[in-house]
Structure 1
Amino acid sequence: MQNTIERYRIDAKQGYTDRIDEELYKEQLRYESENMARKIEIIKMSQRKLLGKDLDPCSSEELQEISRQLEISLNNIRARKDWLFKEQIEQLQAKERLLLEENARLRKQCDAQPWLQISTQPNQAVAYLSSCSKSSDVGD
């Protein structure tokens, strides 16, 4: 009987400790939640200011800071845009080289004459092009 009572006391103490830990955990979560809500509100206010809204209560210094932030953002956007254009130009130049090489290979394969010479005689051009397409192994 004494052992049963002792186990009950130990379990009761453990339950009390668990409840205290649970309450502390809940309090910590409430604090973090309130803190996050404040941060979200600050970010929303900052976003509205950067979009040009709610600027009436801003001081001259705040407006200067907003202007500086916008300039930095604009410079970052321009740098990214320039980088993307350079990448696109490099890709297009590589594609151009491949197409020129492919064109040279096909001309060599068909023993092609310059297009302007062929195009002056339409019947010969059609016959020539059809003979080239039959001997060519290029597929769509």
Structure 2
Amino acid sequence: MAREKIQIRKINNVTARQVTFSKRRRGLFKKAEELSILCDAEVALMVFSSTGKLFDFSSSSVKNILEKYNTHPKNLEKAKHPSIDLNIDDSNYASMTKQVAEESLRLRQMRGEEIQGLTIHDLLQLEKNLEEGLKRVLERKGQQIMEQINVLQEKGKKLIEENERLKEQVVKIAREEKQVVTESENITYEDGQSSESVSNNALHLRLPQDQVDHHDHNSDTTLKLGLPGSNWV
């Protein structure tokens, strides 16, 4: 049964696209390996997935093949007459591409991805880098916590000062009210009599008439003789 011919266009389904990419990538690398073996050719192949992952194949060394490519007379001739459309040197472009790929791989490994091919030494170095990064993160976290604590302490200090100020105001208001009450006890009544006159009148009302007359007589005598009332019984 003949295979159904697939139309060459972008696969919209993400899962199907990833499966197709994985299958065809392996097939492409296999063909490149067969080409290098059968024809004694130096082959280098680099593929970036849609997510930025790098996959490469080389019959010897990608770096050596790229250097050989850059120093090829044909490319040197291009360097003498650079294209107007391309202002980036091929060697720099290759170096930048490699650097981006290495940093992308390093970032994924920091997240715990694609670490299957790492040696013990690589894993120990990765662990050391993670510990150092975690240490810096914890230090920064501690700094932010201390800054927040200082802010809260400053707010608490201001609240305490405000509380003391309000207490002083309450004490002051209480003293003023007490003073007003004290002064109100010594003011004259509405009929013009003082509190002492009112007390004397109340005494006259409570005493019998003969005692009142005797009290008044003693008072008059005291006033006439100019003697102190304390010498009279």
TM-score normalised per structure 1: 0.57
Q: Deviations over 1:62-112 (max 9, x none)?
A: 000000001101111111111111111111111100111011112212338
Which residue number in structure 1 is paired with residue 186 of structure 2?
none
Query: How many residues are aligned here?
Result: 93
- Of residues 68, 72, 78, the one that matches 2:138 is 78
- Of residues 110, 120, 128, the one that matches 1:50 is 110
Q: Say which structure, 1 or 2, has more relative contact order (CA 8 Å, 6+ apart).
A: 1
Which residue number in structure 2 is paired with residue 100 of structure 1?
160
Which structure 1 residue ranges, 5 or more long, are not aligned? 1-19, 113-140
Secondary structure of the structure 2 residue equivalent to 1:40? helix
The answer to which structure has the higher strand fraction is 2
Cα deviation for residue 23 of structure 1 reads 3.6
Alignment partners' CA distance in 2, 1:91 and 1:21: 64
Cα deviation for residue 45 of structure 1 reads 0.4
Q: CA RMSD in A?
A: 2.4
- Of residues 108, 122, 130, the one that matches 1:62 is 122
Runs ≥4 residues deviating over 6 A: none
Judging changes above 3 Å, is the alpha-carbon distance between structure 1 residues 24 and 62 closer, same or farther for their aligned structure 2 residues? farther
Query: What letter is aligned with 2:127?
Result: S
TM-score normalised per structure 2: 0.36
